[in-house]
C-alpha cells in the first residue's frame, strides 16, 4: 500500500499538485530550484539550456519556481522571469538576502541589521524589476532567527508590500540544519511558508518542524532533497568539480569516500540499485504529509523530464520509510572539511 504523500490535490498536466499551506496556491509537488541556473556557484550552467529546462518544466505541468536575488546577483531571477511571464499560472517564489551579509544568520543578531524595513521593500522592488513582474507570489527572507519576532520593523514592511500588491505571501528560508529555529515563527503565524533542508540523511525537520507546520497550516518547501547531489548516486571518490564550484567544499576532504558506505547501506536495506537512489530520495521527502513541494535543481531538459515523472502523488510505503529513517546521518558539510 502506498503512503499518501499529501492531503488530496488535483492532477493538472502531468504533475500532481498540493496545497501550499493555507494559501490558495496549489503547487506541483516537484518544484524548480533555480539556484543552479545562476551559473556562478554551480559551474557549468548555460543560459540557453537553463531556459529550455525551465520551459520544459512548465510544459510538463510544473508551476512552482524558487529563485533568489542572491543567485548570481539577480541573473537567476532574470532567466526565471523571462520564462514565467510567458506561462500564465506560474507561481514564483524569491528571497531577500540579509543586509548584514551573514550566511547563516548569527545567534544574537538583530532584525534591523539583517532585514530593516526600507531594505526589505527596496530589495523586493529590485527582484520585481529582475523578474519583470508587478508582484511575486512568495517573498522569503533568505536567512532567519526566531529571535527576530517582534523586533525591528520588517513585519510592517511585509504588510506594506502585501497592501501594495507587490507580494502575495511571505515566507522564511530556514538556516541550514536549523529547523527548530523557525518553530516560534510557525506558531506565531508570521509566515505562510517555510523552506528547509530535508532529506534521507538530514531528517531533523521530522523531530518538530514538519508537525508544527502541518498543525498551523504553513506550507513546507523542501530544499536539498538530494543532499547537494550525494543522494543522486553520481558522486564517487573520483568525482571532481570546477575549482570555483561550491561542491569542492561540500565534498571536501574524505567526504566523497565516506559517503559511499552510507549509499551502499541504503541500497542493501531497500534492495535497490544505485540508479534508483534519486527517485527513492525524492519520494522519501514527498512522503511526509506536511510537505507541499520539493524544489530540485534542474539545469537540463533531461533532468527536468526525469524528475517530473516522479510528480505522481505517490510516496513510499511504510516499510520503505521506516528503513530509511534508520539512515539518518547528522552532519554539516557546508563547513570546510578538516
Residue 332, domain member (yes or no) = no
Residues 201-228 have a mean pLDDT of 97
Residue 330, domain member (yes or no) = no
Predicted confidence (pLDDT) per residue in 97-109, tens digit: 999 999 999 999 9
Give residue 12's pLDDT band: very low, low, confident or very high (50, 70, 90): very low
Q: Is 200 exposed, middle or buried (0-12, 13-18, 19+ CB in 10 A)?
A: buried
Query: Which range has the worst mean pLDDT, 31-40, 139-148, 168-177, 284-293?
Result: 31-40
pLDDT score, position 11: 40
Residue 331, domain member (yes or no) = no
pLDDT score, position 47: 87
Give residue 245's pLDDT band: very low, low, confident or very high (50, 70, 90): confident
Cα–Cα distance for residue pair 241/253, rounded to 1 Å: 13
Which three-class secondary structure string do you get for 261-313?
A: HHHHHHHHHHCCCHHHHHHHHHHHHHCCCCEEEEEEECCCHHHHHHHHCCCCC
Residues 51-59 have a mean pLDDT of 95
Q: Examine the pLDDT at 4 and tell me if it is beyond 50.
A: no
Residue 2, domain member (yes or no) = no
The count of domains in the chain is 1
pLDDT score, position 13: 54
Q: Examine the pLDDT at 130 and tell me if it is beyond 70.
A: yes
Residue 254, domain member (yes or no) = yes
Q: Examine the pLDDT at 81 and tell me if it is beyond 60.
A: yes
Q: Examine the pLDDT at 7 and tell me if it is beyond 90.
A: no
Residue 227 CB neighbours (<10 A): 20
**Grid cell listed for 17:** 499538485
pLDDT score, position 45: 61
Give residue 43's pLDDT band: very low, low, confident or very high (50, 70, 90): very low
Q: Which domain holds residue 203?
A: 11-325
Residues 115-143 have a mean pLDDT of 98
Residue 165 CB neighbours (<10 A): 9
Residue 5, domain member (yes or no) = no
Residues 198-227 have a mean pLDDT of 98
Residue 245, domain member (yes or no) = yes
H or E element that contains 197? strand 193-197
Mean pLDDT (the chain, rounded): 92
Q: Examine the pLDDT at 95 and tell me if it is beyond 60.
A: yes
Give residue 39's pLDDT band: very low, low, confident or very high (50, 70, 90): low
The pTM for the full model equals 0.94
Residue written as cell 524528475?
A: 307
Residue 4, domain member (yes or no) = no
Task: Name the percent of the chain lying above pLDDT 90.
Answer: 86
pLDDT score, position 3: 37
Predicted confidence (pLDDT) per residue in 182-201, tens digit: 999 999 999 999 999 999 99
Cα–Cα distance for residue pair 182/159, rounded to 1 Å: 20
Residues 203-207 have a mean pLDDT of 98
pLDDT score, position 38: 62
Give residue 55's pLDDT band: very low, low, confident or very high (50, 70, 90): very high
pLDDT score, position 235: 95
Q: Fill in the DSSP letter of residue 29.
A: S
Cα–Cα distance for residue pair 139/236, rounded to 1 Å: 37
Q: Examine the pLDDT at 140 and tell me if it is beyond 50.
A: yes
| Dihedral sign, Cα of residue 159, residue 161, residue 162, residue 164 | positive
Q: What is the CATH number of the domain that holds 62?
A: 3.20.20.100
Amino acid at each position: 500500500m502506498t503512503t499518501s504523500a499529501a492531503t488530496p490535490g488535483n492532477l493538472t498536466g502531468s504533475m500532481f499538485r498540493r496545497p501550499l499551506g493555507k494559501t490558495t496556491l496549489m503547487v506541483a509537488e516537484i518544484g524548480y530550484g533555480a539556484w543552479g541556473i545562476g551559473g556562478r556557484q554551480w559551474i557549468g550552467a548555460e543560459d540557453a539550456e537553463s531556459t529550455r529546462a525551465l520551459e520544459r518544466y512548465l510544459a510538463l505541468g510544473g508551476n512552482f519556481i524558487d529563485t533568489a536575488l542572491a543567485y548570481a546577483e539577480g541573473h537567476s531571477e532574470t532567466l526565471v522571469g523571462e520564462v514565467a511571464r510567458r506561462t500564465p499560472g506560474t507561481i514564483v517564489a524569491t528571497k531577500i538576502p540579509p543586509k548584514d551579509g551573514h550566511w547563516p544568520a548569527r545567534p544574537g543578531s538583530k532584525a534591523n541589521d539583517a532585514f530593516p524595513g526600507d531594505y526589505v521593500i527596496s530589495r523586493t522592488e529590485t527582484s520585481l524589476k529582475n523578474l519583470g513582474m508587478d508582484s511575486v507570489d512568495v517573498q522569503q527572507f533568505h536567512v532567519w532567527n526566531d529571535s527576530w519576532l517582534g523586533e525591528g520593523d520588517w513585519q510592517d514592511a511585509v504588510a506594506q508590500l502585501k497592501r501594495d500588491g507587490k507580494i502575495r505571501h511571505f515566507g522564511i528560508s530556514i538556516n541550514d540544519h536549523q529547523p527548530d529555529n523557525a518553530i516560534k515563527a510557525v506558531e506565531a503565524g508570521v509566515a505562510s511558508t517555510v523552506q528547509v533542508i530535508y532529506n534521507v540523511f538530514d531528517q531533523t525537520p521530522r523531530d518538530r518542524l514538519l508537525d508544527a507546520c502541518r498543525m498551523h497550516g504553513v506550507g513546507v518547501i523542501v530544499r536539498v532533497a538530494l543532499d547537494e547531489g550525494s543522494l543522486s548516486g553520481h558522486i564517487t571518490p573520483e568525482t571532481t568539480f570546477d575549482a570555483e564550484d561550491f561542491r569542492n567544499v561540500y565534498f571536501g576532504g574524505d567526504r566523497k569516500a565516506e559517503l559511499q558506505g552510507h549509499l551502499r547501506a541504503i541500497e542493501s536495506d531497500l534492495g535497490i540499485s544505485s540508479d534508483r537512489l534519486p527517485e527513492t530520495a525524492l519520494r522519501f521527502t514527498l512522503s511526509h504529509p506536511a510537505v507541499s513541494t520539493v524544489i530540485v535543481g534542474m539545469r537540463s531538459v533531461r533532468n527536468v523530464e526525469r524528475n517530473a515523472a516522479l510528480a505522481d502523488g505517490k510516496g513510499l510505503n511504510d516499510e520503505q520509510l521506516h528503513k530509511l529513517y534508520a539512515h539518518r546521518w547528522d552532519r554539516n558539510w557546508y563547513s570546510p572539511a578538516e
